[in-house]
Amino acid sequence: MNVESARTEPIVFTPNLRARDELANYWMRQATLRLRREIAWVWHERGASSPQQFGELPPMIDRASVSLDLSRHWDEKQRFYGSHVAAKYLTEQLMIPPPRIDQSVRGSFGWVLQELSLDDVSALTLSMGLASAFDASFGAVIASCLNDPSRIYPNLMLIQRVWDVPEEAHTLSDPMHPLFAMGLLRRVSSVQRSYADTLWEQPLSVPWMVARVLIDGAEHGAEIGSTSLRLVDPMKARHGELAKAESLIAYRVRAEMPQGLRVVPLLGHRRSAYRQTAIEIALVTEQKIWEYKGDPTLLGHEDYFAMLMCFAWLTGNSLLIRHELFDGTEARRARNEGLPLVAVPIILFLSIADRKQVAHLDPALLVPFVKVPALGYEGRLAAWIEGFGEDAQTYESILKEMARRFRYEKETIHDICVELKAQPEPLKEDDFIEACRAELSVDMGELAAAVEPRFTDEQLILPNKQAIQFEEQLAAMQALTKVHYDWGTARAWNEGGITVLFSGPPGTGKTMAAEILAHRLKLPMYRIDLSQVVNKYIGETEKNLKRIFDAADVSDMLLFFDEADALFGKRIEANDARDRYANLEVSYLLERMERFKGLAVLATNRKNDLDQAFLRRIRHIIEFPVPDEIQRAAIWQQVIPASVADNSHIDIAFLARQFPLSGGHIRSIVFNACLQSAHAGNGHHELFMKDVLVAVKREYDKMGRSLSFEQLGPYVQDIVKLE
Residue 109 exposure: Cα atoms within 13 Å on the Cβ side: 29
b/e 470-485 (16+ beta carbons within 10 angstroms → b)? beebeebbeebbeebb
Q: Can you give the pLDDT at residue 512?
A: 92
> Rounded to whole angstroms, how far apart are CA atoms 153 and 173?
16
Helix or strand holding residue 521 (H, E): helix 510-521
Q: Can you give the pLDDT at residue 309?
A: 94
Q: Can you give the pLDDT at residue 240?
A: 60
Is residue 7, in this structure, part of any structural domain at all?
A: yes
Is residue 321, in this structure, part of any structural domain at all?
A: yes
Q: What is the pLDDT of residues 375-401, one digit of tens each?
A: 889 989 999 999 999 999 999 999 999
CATH number at 655 reads 1.10.8.60
8 A C-beta contact, residue 413 and residue 276: no
CA distances from 384 to 241, 488, 524, 654, 692 (A): 21, 20, 22, 58, 55
Q: Is the pLDDT of residue 586 over 90?
A: no
Is residue 223, in this structure, part of any structural domain at all?
A: no
Q: Can you give the pLDDT at residue 432?
A: 95
> Rounded to whole angstroms, how far apart are CA atoms 437 and 430?
10
- Nearest-CA neighbor of 265 among 364, 357, 370, 353? 370
Higher pLDDT, 323 or 343: 343
Single-letter amino acid, residue 704 = G
8 A C-beta contact, residue 121 and residue 166: no
Q: Is the pLDDT of residue 320 over 90?
A: yes
Q: What is the pLDDT of residues 91-145, one digit of tens each?
A: 899 999 988 876 778 899 999 999 999 999 999 999 999 988 888 788 888 888 8
Residues 244-269, mean pLDDT to the nearest whole number: 83
Look at strands 347-352 and 262-267 and give their pairing: parallel
Single-letter amino acid, residue 40 = A
pLDDT band at 439 (very low <50, low <70, confident <90, very high): confident
> Does 513 lie in the same domain as 573?
yes
> Does 480 lie in the same domain as 594?
yes
> Does 288 lie in the same domain as 391?
no
Residues 559-584, mean pLDDT to the nearest whole number: 62
CA distances from 661 to 38, 289, 654, 705 (A): 100, 68, 13, 11
Q: Can you give the pLDDT at residue 70?
A: 56
pLDDT band at 527 (very low <50, low <70, confident <90, very high): very high
Is residue 221, in this structure, part of any structural domain at all?
A: no
Single-letter amino acid, residue 587 = S
Q: At CA 233, angle to CA 232 and CA 237, rounded to 5?
A: 90
> Does 386 lie in the same domain as 364?
no
8 A C-beta contact, residue 645 and residue 672: no
How many structural domains are present in the chain? 5
> Does 145 lie in the same domain as 9?
yes
Is residue 444, in this structure, part of any structural domain at all?
A: no
> Rounded to whole angstroms, how far apart are CA atoms 63 and 10?
27
Q: Can you give the pLDDT at residue 192?
A: 42
Beta bridge partners of 321: 350
b/e 189-227 (16+ beta carbons within 10 angstroms → b)? eeeeeeeebeeebbbbbbbebbbbbbbbbbebbeebbee
From 213, 240, 255, the end of a domain falls on 213
> Rounded to whole angstroms, how far apart are CA atoms 225 and 212?
10
459-473, 534-548, 702-716: which is most confident: 459-473
> Rounded to whole angstroms, how far apart are CA atoms 19 and 215?
5
How many percent of the chain have pLDDT more than 70?
Answer: 84
> Does 267 lie in the same domain as 193?
no
Helix axes 302-315, 208-216, angle to 10 degrees: 20
Higher pLDDT, 417 or 567: 417
Q: Can you give the pLDDT at residue 60?
A: 73
Q: Can you give the pLDDT at residue 584?
A: 59
What torsion do the CA atoms of 567, 568, 574, 578 make, to the nearest 10 degrees? 10
pLDDT band at 201 (very low <50, low <70, confident <90, very high): confident
8 A C-beta contact, residue 560 and residue 525: yes
Residues 273-279, mean pLDDT to the nearest whole number: 84
Q: What is the pLDDT of residues 560-571, one digit of tens each?
A: 988 877 777 654
Q: What is the pLDDT of residues 350-383, one digit of tens each?
A: 988 888 888 888 888 999 998 887 888 998 999 9
How many other C-beta atoms can be found within 10 angstroms of the C-beta atom of residue 242? 17
246-260, 484-498, 515-529, 570-584: which is most confident: 515-529
> Does 353 lie in the same domain as 234?
yes
Flag the least confident range among 71-85, 151-165, 261-275, 327-341: 327-341
151 exposed, middle or buried (CB, 10 Å; 0-12, 13-18, 19+)? buried
Residue 479 exposure: Cα atoms within 13 Å on the Cβ side: 10
- Nearest-CA neighbor of 480 among 467, 466, 465, 493? 493
From 623, 658, 680, the end of a domain falls on 623
> Rounded to whole angstroms, how far apart are CA atoms 361 and 310?
19
Q: Can you give the pLDDT at residue 640?
A: 87
Helix or strand holding residue 527 (H, E): strand 525-528
Flag the least confident range among 244-253, 286-295, 459-468, 511-520: 244-253
User: Dihedral sign, CA of 144, 146, 147, 152?
Assistant: negative
> Does 156 lie in the same domain as 141?
yes
> Rounded to whole angstroms, how far apart are CA atoms 309 and 317?
10
Q: Is the pLDDT of residue 266 over 70?
A: yes
Q: Is the pLDDT of residue 55 over 60?
A: no
All residues at 6 or more sequence positions from 431 whose CB lies less than 8 Å from its CB, including other chains? 420, 423
> Rounded to whole angstroms, how far apart are CA atoms 180 and 205?
10
Is residue 366, in this structure, part of any structural domain at all?
A: yes
> Rounded to whole angstroms, how far apart are CA atoms 435 and 446?
26
> Rounded to whole angstroms, how far apart are CA atoms 432 and 401?
10
25 exposed, middle or buried (CB, 10 Å; 0-12, 13-18, 19+)? buried
From 189, 213, 237, the end of a domain falls on 213
- Nearest-CA neighbor of 404 among 434, 436, 373, 426? 436
Q: Quote the pTM value.
A: 0.71
- Residue 132's domain comprises 3-213
> Rounded to whole angstroms, how far apart are CA atoms 125 and 205?
10
> Does 266 lie in the same domain as 160?
no
> Rounded to whole angstroms, how far apart are CA atoms 709 and 440?
57
> By three-state DSSP, how is residue 576 classified?
coil
Mean pLDDT of the chain: 82
What torsion do the CA atoms of 307, 312, 315, 320 make, to the nearest 10 degrees? 140
Q: Can you give the pLDDT at residue 537?
A: 67
Residues 190-212, mean pLDDT to the nearest whole number: 74
pLDDT band at 54 (very low <50, low <70, confident <90, very high): very low
8 A C-beta contact, residue 248 and residue 370: no
Q: Is the pLDDT of residue 40 over 60?
A: yes
> Does 331 lie in the same domain as 195?
no
Higher pLDDT, 587 or 585: 587
Distance of CA 534 to the CA centre of its chain: 27
Is residue 218, in this structure, part of any structural domain at all?
A: no
Q: Can you give the pLDDT at residue 649?
A: 78
Distance of CA 83 to the CA centre of its chain: 65
CATH number at 266 reads 3.40.50
Count helices and strands (H / E) in the chain.
Answer: 36, 14
Q: Can you give the pLDDT at residue 394?
A: 92
CATH number at 569 reads 3.40.50.300
Q: What is the pLDDT of residues 664-689, one digit of tens each?
A: 999 999 999 888 888 876 566 788 88
> Does 608 lie in the same domain as 523?
yes
Higher pLDDT, 618 or 421: 421
> Rounded to whole angstroms, how far apart are CA atoms 400 and 431?
15
- Nearest-CA neighbor of 50 among 11, 8, 94? 11
Is residue 219, in this structure, part of any structural domain at all?
A: no
> Does 700 lie in the same domain as 594?
no
SS3 content of the chain, % helix, strand, coil (to 5): 55, 10, 35
> Rounded to whole angstroms, how far apart are CA atoms 582 and 55?
82
> DSSP string covering 292-327, please?
E-S-GGGGGSHHHHHHHHHHHHHHT-EEEE-HHHHG
Higher pLDDT, 69 or 549: 549
